[in-house]
Structure 1
Amino acid sequence: MSGTQDGKEQEQAVPSEAKLSRFPPRRQFFAFAVVGCFLLCACGMTTVRAGAWIAGILSGESSATSEVKRAAAYPWPSNSASLTVAVSPSVAESLRERAGKFNGLRLRTPDGEMMQVEMVTRSSSEIVAESLQQPGFQAVVPDSSLWLDLIEVRWATLFPTESGTLTASRVGQTTLFAVSPVVIAVQLNAAQQLGWPHQSIGWQEVHTRAAAPSTNFSWGHPSPESISGIAATLSKFHAGAGITRGLTTEIATRADVVDYVRQAERAAIVLGANGRSHAEPMQGERGANGEEGKVKGPLDAFVTQEQAVIAWNRSSDRGLSWLSGEGKAGPVFPNGQLVAIYPKEGTLWADYPFALLELDGRAGPAVTRNQRSTYRAFTRFLLSEDSQYALLEAGFRPVDLTIDLMAEPSPFAETGIVDPLSPQTLLTLPPQPVLEIVMDAWRLSMPPVNVMLVVDTSDSMKGSKLSGAKIALQGFVDQMQGDGDRIGLVEFGSGVKQFGSLHMLDAEGRGHVLYMIESMQAGGSTRLIDALWAAQSELTDLVDSEATYAIVVLTDGRDNDSEYRLRDLQRAIQGGQNQVFVHTVAFGRDADAGLLEDLARIGKGRFYRADETTIEEIYRQIATSIQMTE
């Protein structure tokens, strides 16, 4: 079928690619049953909304880079047939390859517009956050249907309806095209020491091995910003309570369970969406391997998806970003074979829902009729025989149950390191209140945080800049939830306008900090170094060896009136009693990026660029980074 044929015909059947190698069409009942049972559950899951418990995850999520790049709401033409899809990092490469093949077919809509599909990589938090605004994409593929549930819950909160009326949906048609179970990827020799392949291994064995003082076993997992992180964190509560099902609020908050989870969190490398962990040195520090900004390693085990294990063993990628599906933390496994362990207590699945967003034109262009046609055509293409085999070759499990996972040359038939008959047991998600506790588990192992917020309110910050900064700062304060966390504030212009010493974030202290933020007013010049001097003086000589100390500075201009110099500040920060990390935010194009980069280097922190559309996300990212730093 050529690209010039009638569009209606082309929507009815997507042409097949040239048929290359094919797997034998033999069936294996048990392998089908494993995937089939999951797909039945997944289909039901997409219609049952998980609830607001996931909303808390957003406060700990961030971009993989120091410069957050939102998809701009480009005013695409009303007849556009180009579909932009925001995809999870762990499936992005495979979907880009499929999109290239699809675009090569040169299909057209009934009115003659060329169908094109483009992929943009986004973390789950970015997919959710941007979907609630006016994104530059029209469809999404997160790693789990749970994120679609979150979009719907938050959309209903943003646009409530009267009682008895139907709630407008933000998520439209949804299709599953591939799945992959969450596994524990273990180095071959470490797996054998755990008892593989002769005995079943579970989360409990991994926790016990990592906590044992006589062994040198290290493991890690993503934070609960991905389906892999949710599974790993839930397992700690189950292990601490000695159960595999039925976690309740009473059990999850029991002193012995909380203590177990706290120790288990400290025994693991927990990575956030930006690929950083509380066990990882800040930018500029040297890790155990002598490399800058890397996780101290190597690890013996890491929680990820089955597909990542297959890719690793094929030498497709040696980076942790592939294994975690997030970030750029660098390699944590030495070269060598990994084994996929399917925890005997149960696990979760990544189901990769391909969903069309119902952009209704409230804040930007609506999804066009032609884009809907492209979505349907690409959906059929992903479910075609060619695509299902291509996804299988990449290590995913296809949703086409007629495909034999154990027939050559399927990656599941190559070795015994992955098992198409597993997992035998699925973890069940507890009720909303319990999951809120689980999602906040990483805080149990975090030291208290002392943060000074340094804010430029010079004359150039008037108007929307200052309004946006206030919202971002208020969000930062809200995100700090540790029992011992303290925040202070330095507002500056021609001098220090407000100086708020560190306040414990109880109800009174939190209210005081928020009041100071709200009362900020623009005016004056920019005495940046002097303001930083005041902030570091508050932190450097405090006596609390367990705490984390940080300064977060925002400016939109250049230092033009300070009495202190950069070298004075450097001596004070590097010579003080406490290690003070300095994170800097260049707000707009006129900020002195060179100076701010130097300050971040001196303070072993990070430099960020922000504008009025990204400032809130930047401060969420900084808050997470600070809280996960030891």
Structure 2
Amino acid sequence: MMSSTEKAVLLKALAQEFVQTPAGCYQVEITATGSGAALTALAGGLRAGTGSAADLPEVWSPASSVWYRLLERRTDKSGKALFDEVLAPITQTPLVIALPKPIAEELTKTEPLTWDRILGLANDPAAWKELSKDQWGPFTLGKTNPNFSTAGLTSLLTEYAALSTANPGAISEPDTRDGVLQEKLKTLELATIHYGKTTLDYLCKLAAADKDSAANALRYVSAVPVEEKSVYDYNSGNRDWCEHKLEPKVPLVPVALADGTIMSDSPFAVLAGATPDQVALAHQFHAWLGEQDQQKTFTEAGFRHLDGTLDEAVAKELGVTKTPLTKFTQLPDGLVIDAVLNSWENIRKPARVLLVVDTSLSMKYSMIDNVPAETGEESRLDRAKDALTSSLADFSRRDEVGLWTFSGDSSSSDKPYREVVAPGLIDTKGEELASGINRMQPSGATALYVTIAAAHDWLEKSTTGSYIKAVIVLTDGADAYKGGAYKQSQLTQAISASGAARDPVRVFPIAYGVDAKGEMLEQLGTIASVSGGGSYPAVDRSTIREVLLEVISNF
């Protein structure tokens, strides 16, 4: 069974209980996969005609039924050709706007929250400054990539429904070509600090900011579309998915939009191609999950009852009523959902990114050891070249991307970094970037800190207009340049996002190779955190491509 990530831990524990019951005479294996990633994998497998072979699950339970509609659209299949049966939801949680508590108290004091009000705050810095008494920095949104994230997709759908001028409250395919509506949506997107692959990315970064201080938490992000269950996990410190697990200094409040929300309804579908025994087992497991004891497990963990009510203790923790929500946005069909997703390419906030690649001598080492790669063996730099070249296709056509390399002679006064390709639209710079990546050769020491500082400064000063600004640093080692003449403390001061404008330059270091652990990860994590970015380990050849995709999904 393939499950969305927010309920996979619970389902794994419940599946272990189920197989101990008289009905559970078979094995139930739960695989946690983000709903958007699952859609891509399933659509590819089904289009190839592999049905429910070994590479496909027998049951898929994404976060929301919206992904079923997209699967039908992407595969041109429906009914029994796609699903043996779609069973009732097993739990549910609504899309909300998560607000730091002081912001929630201020924003909901006199009137309900709507997308139109959020649009007004995004478009009027003076109004936000007055409302916040200039204490919370610029108004910013934390948004996720709707191609991967359920909250990202459902929030985009609710924006369309709420802000439509031609058909308020509904979503239609012509809306994706409505120029007035598109401009409103672009204004909202421009308030985005950066995109995340999932809402967990944002909540981890918010937890890191909160660990530093309450003030940092309030200035990191003003509002995040997210599922209510995730807000409960964040406030409870139940964050196995990120480093900081303490209860926050500044809790979040889940606010349901007065325009209407979309329920992440955790549907349960048996895919076509499952054997009769597998279908029977799926029905048994589904029925067992619907029993009172198992439902209590879900509701005590922050999900809503199937009747829409919240567990009383959960509601008290969140500071909301336990009564069901009443205003919902109806899901359109797969054709319209696909059109909305395609429109995001034109309304999303573009990025301006520097790829900064370590080409020090150690990059000629083997992937598995600190010795030079043998003839015919792939070196760290070889693998990095392949991954970087492939990753160019992951950028949006409106993104601008450039390439720097760094190494450096410790005894030289020359700059240890150089521009290989100046930033430009990926559509026109793609071939030049690929050529520059292919020409990289290893030499010299690892001038990490001074290069990050220089790249950050250059991107900040050379960028005009509203962009997500980011430096992606790929390195296999700690700073080793001129005896530490430029220290980490100097770097963190130079790149700090504290007190910065809405669009600071964020640093995303990728620690690469066998030394990507311990102190090195801690140092890179600190660098990422102070800039408002994120750090990622890629310890072997198989993960570097996946990590680059995850990093680029921030843009």
Both structures adopt the same fold (TM-score exceeding 0.5): yes
Could you tell me how far apart the structure 2 residues matched to 1:326 and 1:258 are? Answer: 35
Instruction: Give the 3-state SS of the residue equivalent to 2:332 in structure 1.
Output: coil
**Residue 8 of structure 1 corresponds to which residue in structure 2?**
none
SS of residue paired to 1:377 = helix
| Residue 610 (structure 1) aligned to one of 539, 551, 554 | 539
- 1:264 corresponds to 2:184: no
1:153–1:392 CA distance, 2 compared to 1 (3 A): same
CA gap of 1:180–1:499, structure 2 versus 1, over 3 A, is closer
- Say whether residues 1:141 and 2:39 are aligned partners: no
Residue aligning to 2:267: 353
User: Are residue 124 (structure 1) and residue 35 (structure 2) matched?
Assistant: yes
Q: Look up the match of 1:318.
A: 235
Partner of 2:402: 487
Aligned position for 1:230: 153
**Would you say 1:380 and 2:305 are equivalent positions?**
no
1:251 positional shift: 5.7
Task: Give 1:145-544 correspondences, 5 Å limit.
Answer: 145-148=65-68, 174-175=86-87, 176-184=89-97, 189=105, 193-195=109-111, 202-208=114-120, 212-213=127-128, 214-216=130-132, 222-223=143-144, 224=146, 225-242=148-165, 243-248=168-173, 252=177, 254=179, 256-267=180-191, 272=196, 273=198, 275-277=200-202, 289=214, 294=217, 296=219, 303-305=225-227, 312=232, 318-319=235-236, 334=250, 341=256, 343-344=258-259, 346-355=260-269, 374-384=281-291, 386-388=293-295, 391=298, 396=303, 417-420=321-324, 422-423=326-327, 425-428=329-332, 431=336, 434-440=339-345, 443-444=348-349, 448-454=352-358, 458=364, 460=366, 462-463=377-378, 469-481=384-396, 483=398, 485-490=400-405, 500-517=420-437, 519-520=438-439, 527-530=444-447, 540-541=457-458, 543-544=461-462
TM-score, normalised to structure 2's length?
Answer: 0.66
The answer to whether the 8 Å contact 1:140/1:356 transfers is: yes
Q: Secondary structure at the match of 1:245?
A: coil
Tell me which amino acid in the other structure corresponds to 2:474: V
8 Å Cα contact 1:550-1:580 kept in structure 2: yes
Comparing 225-234 with 485-494, which one deviates more in the overlay? Answer: 485-494
Larger RCO (CA under 8 A, 6+ residues apart)? 1
Shift of 1:422: 1.6
The higher radius of gyration belongs to 1
Change (3 A) 1:567 1:411: closer
The 1:226–1:281 alpha-carbon spacing in structure 2 relative to 1, beyond 3 Å, is closer
Aligned residues: 494
| CA distance in structure 2 between the partners assigned to 1:528 and 1:173 by the alignment | 60
Shift, 1:143, TM fit? 0.5
Deviation at 1:619, TM superposition (A): 0.4
Q: Is the 8 A contact 1:116 1:374 kept in 2?
A: no
Structure 2 unaligned blocks of 5 or more: 46-53, 368-376, 411-415, 497-503
Q: Deviations over 1:155-183 (max 9, x none)?
A: x69xxxxxxx9999897654332334434
Change beyond 3 A, Cα 1:253–1:130:
same
- C-alpha separation between the residues in 2 aligned to 1:286 and 1:308? 18
CA deviation profile, 1:531-581 (whole Å, cap 9, x unmatched): 8867865664563265735242143x799xx77444447588568799876
DSSP-derived class of the 1:552 partner: strand
Mapped to 2, the partners of 1:270 and 1:181 lie a distance apart of 23
Contact 2:299 2:311 in 1 (8 A): no
Cross-structure match for 2:501:
none
Change (3 A) 1:271 1:507: closer
Work out whether residues 182 and 347 of structure 1, in 8 Å CA contact, stay in contact via their aligned partners in 2.
Answer: yes
Q: CA deviation at 1:381?
A: 1.4
CA distance in 1, matches of 2:97, 2:395: 31
CA distance in 2, matches of 1:166, 1:473: 38
Native 8 Å contact 2:404 2:417 kept in 1: no
Task: Give the one of 95, 120, 137 matched to 2:11.
Answer: 95
Over the matched positions of the two proteins, sequence identity in percent amounts to 19
Cα drift, residue 227 of structure 1: 3.0
Determine whether 1:621 maps to 2:550. yes
Cα displacement (A) at 1:460: 2.5
Q: Is the 8 A contact 1:450 1:550 kept in 2?
A: yes
Are residues 250 and 510 of structure 1, via their aligned partners in 2, closer, same or farther at CA, if it must alter by over 3 Å? farther
**CA distance in 2: counterparts of 1:520 and 1:342, whole angstroms:** 52
Q: C-alpha separation between the residues in 2 aligned to 1:569 and 1:410?
A: 48
Map Cα deviations across residues 255-288 of structure 1 (whole Å, 9 max, x no partner). Answer: x544433433355677622644599689789866
Task: Say if 1:269 and 1:277, in contact at 8 Å, map to a contact too.
Answer: no
Q: What's the RMSD between the two structures over aligned residues?
A: 5.5
- Counterpart CA distance in 2 for 1:266 and 1:602 is 25
Checking the alignment, whether the CA contact within 8 Å between 1:180 and 1:306 is kept in structure 2 is: yes
Call closer, same or farther: CA 1:191–1:476 in 2, change over 3 Å: same
TM-score (norm 1): 0.59
Partner-residue secondary structure (3-state), 1:182: strand
- Residue 66 of structure 2 contacts residue 331 of structure 2 at CA under 8 Å; is this kept in 1? no
How many Å apart are 1:220 and its aligned residue?
5.2
Task: Give the deviation of 1:512 after TM superposition.
Answer: 0.6
Partners of 1:339 and 1:525 lie apart in 2 by: 50
Would the aligned equivalents of 1:87 and 1:140 in 2 still touch at CA under 8 Å?
yes
Over 3 Å counting, the alpha-carbon distance change for 1:278 and 1:477 in structure 2 is farther
Whole-Å separation in 2 of the counterparts to 1:485 and 1:169: 42
Q: Whole-Å Cα distance in 2 between the matches of residues 108 and 250 of structure 1?
A: 48
Cα distance change of structure 1 residues 443 and 135 upon mapping to structure 2, 3 Å threshold: same
1:59-98 equivalent positions in 2, closer than 5 A: 85-92=1-8, 94-96=10-12, 98=14
Measured after TM superposition, the shift of residue 98 of structure 1 is 3.2
Q: Deviations over 1:401-438 (max 9, x none)?
A: xxx7689999999x982443723552536735641355
